[in-house]
Amino acid sequence: MSERTETAAPATVPAQSAPVSPAPTGSVDSGARKGPGPVSWLSWWRGEAGESARRNLALIGVLVVLIVIGMITRPDLYGDLGWVGGNMMTILKLASAVGVVTVGMTFVIIGGGIDLSVGAIIALAGVWSTTVATQQFGAGGMIFTAVVVGTCVGLVNGLLISYGRLVPFIATLAMLVAARGLAAEISDKQTQVSTNQTINGIASESVLGIPVLVIILVAVVAAGWVLLNRTTFGRRTVAVGGNPEAARLAGINVRVHTVLLYTLSGLCCGIGAVMLTAQANSAQAAMANLYELDAIAAAIIGGTLLSGGRGSVVGALLGVVIFATITNLFALNDLSPEAQNMVKGGIIVAAVLVQQFRFKSLTQFFARNRLSSTS
């Protein structure tokens, strides 16, 4: 609790006085960084600001370990460089739809909420955009429908939470059930095949050798990073999640901001629905099953605090890629999905344990060290 308020309060004040002040690099709360020079780099690395960089590096370390395991277990495949490149793209494509959803989820969690309805929103947006009537409007109409449906459902979530005073968990749980029900109603429980070649092409085409899905993922993550770290909106999100009361006193309209966060999550789901529909050439009410858990898990191991006030979009992306790499690794070695789920669970627990360890002891350890060296 104490860390949250400490990190949130300083972030709030500059956001109000100078919204477009040139922000320092690193995470949101990078006030600890001093001028250039090797010594300050070291202290930046050790301090609060280096926190997210350290965490991301740890996640990259996990990725490297996973890839090394792949190399050891399937040397026949990893010996072929062309295959390695193609496999990397397969992993990123696998991560693409859930990655986009995770960006929205990260914002919601940083803002102190949770969105359990993301999978259901994807299903509703996907089904709505692949009905016979919508498909007549062509690719543009389908994308428009998916994005608008997703955004509107997110908006409803936000209004229920902000103005209906529903707990986010309950409001989005209700939406999870209702949106899947509506999706089943619209699709009449059928799998709706997308016959639109432009939509299906999103999953099969590449630009300059990079699959379109991966380009969308990178673009959304980049936009999310800028929004979180370089705009007033991002600073307000951190403030609202860290300490809503302080944020309100600082002049932020917490209610409107909360609505915007859930709307943003809905928008991401709409984009994700287009990507998933393209990949499966179809949509149905049962699609994107349990995506909410994948997205929350990825955000958490990426370093986002479930209680809000802190988080990283890049970390969330790394979390999604780690999960996709595990799926890939298990497929390469013909291992069962049960074992895969157990490993996933283990990684989530380990990530949270490491997170607690870092907060409770590591920072204190560094703080003590610094104190003793200066005195």
Partner 1 sequence: MTQHDPLRPVRDLSRRRLLLGGAAVGAGALLTACTSNETGPTGNEQVKEADAGANPNASPGKRVVIGFSAPAADHGWLAAITRNAEAQAKVYSDVEFRTVQAGADAAAQRAALSTLISQKPDVIVMLPHDGKELNAAGLEAMKAGVPVVNLDRAFPDALAYRLQIKGDNYGMGVAAGRYIGEQMKAKGIANPIIGEIAGMDELELTQERSAGFAAELAVYGFKVKNRRAARFTADTGQVEASQLLRAEPKLDAVWNHDDDQGIGVLAAIQQANRSEFIMVGGAGSKAAIDAIAADNSVLKATVTYSPSMASSAISLARLIGQGRGMSDLVELQVPKEITLASETITKENASAYSKLGF
Residues of this chain, 266-295, that bind partner 1 according to CB under 8 A: 276, 279-289
Q: How far is the CB of 261 from partner 1 (least distance, A)?
A: 13
* Distance, CA of 93 to CA of 86 (rounded, Å): 10
Nearest residue (CB) to partner 1, 254 versus 362: 254
Nearest residue (CB) to partner 1, 287 versus 314: 287
Q: How far is the CB of 87 from partner 1 (least distance, A)?
A: 5
Beta carbons of 140 and 263 less than 8 angstroms apart? no
**332 binding partner 1? (CB under 8 A):** yes
Nearest residue (CB) to partner 1, 33 versus 255: 255
Considering only CA atoms, which of 107, 114, 113 is closest in space to residue 267? 107
**165 binding partner 1? (CB under 8 A):** yes
**258 binding partner 1? (CB under 8 A):** yes
Q: How far is the CB of 142 from partner 1 (least distance, A)?
A: 9
Which of 61, 79, 251, 346 binds partner 1 (CB under 8 A)? It is 251
Nearest residue (CB) to partner 1, 276 versus 347: 276
* Distance, CA of 2 to CA of 7 (rounded, Å): 9
* Distance, CA of 250 to CA of 12 (rounded, Å): 7
What is the pairing mode between strands 206-207 and 192-193?
unpaired
Tokens of 102: 């995770």
Is residue 245 helix, strand or coil?
helix
Q: Hey, which residues between 184 and 223 contact partner 1 (CB under 8 A)?
A: 184, 186-193, 200, 203-204
Nearest residue (CB) to partner 1, 116 versus 275: 275
Q: Hey, which residues between 129 and 158 contact partner 1 (CB under 8 A)?
A: 129, 131-134, 137, 141, 145, 148-149, 152, 155-156
* Distance, CA of 262 to CA of 114 (rounded, Å): 9
* Distance, CA of 311 to CA of 322 (rounded, Å): 17
Angle made by CA atoms 191, 193, 198, in degrees to the nearest 5 = 150
Size of the site for partner 1 (CB under 8 A): 71
